[in-house]
A and B are shown apart, each in its own frame.
Chain A
Amino acid sequence: MTVELTFREYQDGLEQGKLLGLYCGECGAVTVPPQAVCSECGSRKLKIGEVEKKGIIKTFTVIRIAAEGMTPPFIIAMVETYSGAWVMGNIIDMDADSADMDLMGKEVIIDSRQVKGDVYSYGDIHSIVFKLV
């Protein structure tokens, strides 16, 4: 058993402007980000495919007391993509202080940016960002 879509390949996808997911041959769910089995049913019958880079904000927070190495305030959100998979990322095109419950249900475009890793991390990686439509 080899992993169908590795972290590195998913990262390369983001760098090329693609959100890669795994389409389940059993239940049809889409797994993003990738892992060895379907995130919904556990099946290993998975096929790599692109996921539409759009979705709806399901919740958010504004981080005001941040971990070492981060500069607050900044917004984190959970977004349901139209494929059904949820992704987490930063909302980057608005002032954090103006974030409120009006964000719930708003449509966003999904993109990525490079984030510098610190000494305890995997290293520099591409992480998800959201822009309001």
Chain B
Amino acid sequence: MREVAILGAEMTKFGIYDKTNVELFSEAGLGAIEKSNIEPDKIEALFFGNCMGDFEEGQLHMASFAHSAIGLKKSAPALRFESACATATVAIRNAALLVGAGVYDIVLAGGSERANAMGTPLATRTFAMASHALYETPLGITFPGVFGMATHMYSEKYNIPLDELKRHMAEVAVKNHFHGVNNPKAHLRKEITVEKVLSGMMVADPLQLLDCCPFSDGSAAVVIADAKTAKDLIKKPVYIAGMGQAASGPLYYQKDITRVKSREISIKKAYKEAGITPSDIDVCELHDCFTIAEIFALEGFGFYEFGKGYDAATKGETRFGGKVVVNPSGGLKSKGHPIGATGAAQVTEIAEQLREESGPRQVEGAKIGLVDTLGGDFGTVCNIILRR
């Protein structure tokens, strides 16, 4: 496999838009192309993530229209990816694999989503379609419900009283909002307090409103090329050191859902490919769709033993100045979570961090960064390790 690099990376501000998915992707995609010092006709393929365009805008086959809207050449194929919340990371990984294999030299990957176009009841319904449609969805399961069940199981398994666990979970939300204040592209750019998290509306026991990330609209995209092409085009390519992806099926076969098996397999492969250990990671964008999800990820990476990661945010170990800065962008919680775009925004943040372009939220001296994106009810995890 050839060495593969990230060139230009761009995201729109995340929030609520009346711009269309294709318009949002046009801004991110052309932004990434401009930052790569190329014209759209140099792109050899488009790897486009979108989960729910059919419900949001009545649009299937959106990749082809996104392709045309930014002036890609007709000989560049357009592919649509859907892996629930891990969509864009999976698109980027597959793009990088094909560049690594020498099929393409330079491609565009990313995604777009407009969940707010659906309104909360339909958005909740369509998100639940990423659970098993015959055996989970008919029960009325929602994503907060899945992570609520996982929270109760964690509390019981490790004998941590639920009230105590919830305070530590609230600290995760407080930390990510604290980080997000420094991100002008964040959807919810405001500080919150533990008390505010714990007084919020109950969404799915024991998760309250501020334990949950928002429904966001937005887009992000990155240009990917082989290392030689990248060095010829831009000053600071960021290299893909290792990647992993794994699948783990429905909840009732996973059984102990405090252990995300898909992540444990994916991250092991990524570490091995990169030739690193968990302590080599300087900065990390991980999948904090719910506060408990950040705790699971920290443990899954091997940053903490299983059952010991719950108070990392409380102890300040994942903040700026902590052991490893987790979600400097604000994470899904504050930056927002347009599911088809999220992974590309995570890659954008890590690429900027490694180029020292993150301004007030720069993690000083960051050399190795980790991207972690989870799709569905733990069914997919995709990891990408980047280095300077």
Q: CB within 8 Å of B: which residues of A?
A: 7, 32-33, 39, 58-70, 72, 74, 76-78, 80, 85-90, 99, 101, 104-105, 115, 117-118, 120-122, 125, 127-128
Q: Is the CB of B121 within 8 A of A68?
A: yes
Task: Tell me, in angstroms, the Cα distance from A117 to B152 when the chains sit together.
Answer: 29
Q: Is the CB of A90 within 8 A of B156?
A: no
Contact A66:B140 (CB < 8 A) given known A59-B152, A59-B153, A120-B125: yes
Q: Could you give 30 example pairs across A and B, Cβ below 8 Å?
A: A33-B134, A33-B135, A58-B255, A59-B150, A59-B152, A59-B153, A59-B156, A61-B144, A61-B146, A62-B148, A62-B202, A63-B141, A63-B142, A64-B203, A67-B125, A67-B128, A67-B142, A72-B140, A76-B140, A78-B257, A80-B255, A85-B252, A88-B135, A88-B136, A101-B156, A101-B162, A115-B139, A120-B125, A121-B137, A127-B139
Interface of B is mostly: helix
Asked, given contacts A67-B142, A121-B133, whether A60 binds B149 with beta carbons under 8 Å apart, the answer is: yes
A60 proximity list for chain B (CB < 8 A): 149, 152, 205
Shortest beta-carbon distance from B227 to chain A in Å: 38
- Pick the contact of A88: B121, B162, B201, B252 (CB < 8 A): B252
Interface pair B251/A78, CB less than 8 Å apart: yes
- Asked if B302 is at the interface (CB within 8 A of a chain A CB), the reply is no
List 15 additional contacts besides A65-B124, A65-B142; criterion CB under 8 Å.
Answer: A39-B249, A61-B144, A61-B149, A61-B204, A64-B203, A65-B203, A66-B142, A67-B125, A67-B142, A69-B125, A70-B140, A76-B149, A85-B252, A89-B139, A127-B135
The one of A64, A104, A105 that contacts B202, using a Cβ cutoff of 8 Å: A64
The 8 Å CB contact of B144, one of A39, A65, A87, A99, is A65
**A76 and B133 contact, Cβ closer than 8 Å, known pairs A88-B251, A104-B152:** no
Number of interface residues of B (CB under 8 A): 40
Closest 5 CB pairs of A and B: A61-B148, A67-B125, A68-B121, A59-B153, A62-B205
Contact present for B156 and A68 (CB under 8 Å)? no
For the A-B complex, the count of residue pairs with Cβ-Cβ distances under 8 Å equals 119
Residue B138 lies at the interface, judged by CB distance under 8 Å to chain A: yes
A65-B120, A101-B162 are known contacts. Are A88 and B141 too (CB-CB below 8 A)?
A: yes
Name B104-129 residues within 8 Å CB distance of A.
Answer: 120-122, 124-125, 128-129
**A75 CB, min distance to chain B CBs, angstroms:** 9
Name the distance in Å between A54's Cβ and chain B's nearest Cβ: 16
Q: Is the CB of A76 within 8 A of B145?
A: yes
Are A101 and B152 neighbours in the complex by a CB distance under 8 Å?
A: yes
Q: Does B182 contact A (CB under 8 A)?
A: no
CA of A65 to CA of B255, assembled, Å: 24
Interface centre among B137, B150, B203, B205 (most CB of A within 10 A): B205
Q: Provide the bound-state CA to CA distance between A110 and B138, in Å.
A: 16
Whether the pair A67, B251 counts as a contact (CB closer than 8 A) is no
- Give the CA-CA distance A108 to B137 in the complex, in Å: 21
Residues of B with C-beta under 8 A to A118:
125
Q: In the complex, A74 Cα to B137 Cα: how many Å?
A: 13
With A59-B152, A99-B205 known as contacts, the answer to whether A7 contacts B134 (CB < 8 A) is yes
Whether a CB of chain A sits under 8 angstroms from the CB of B155 is yes
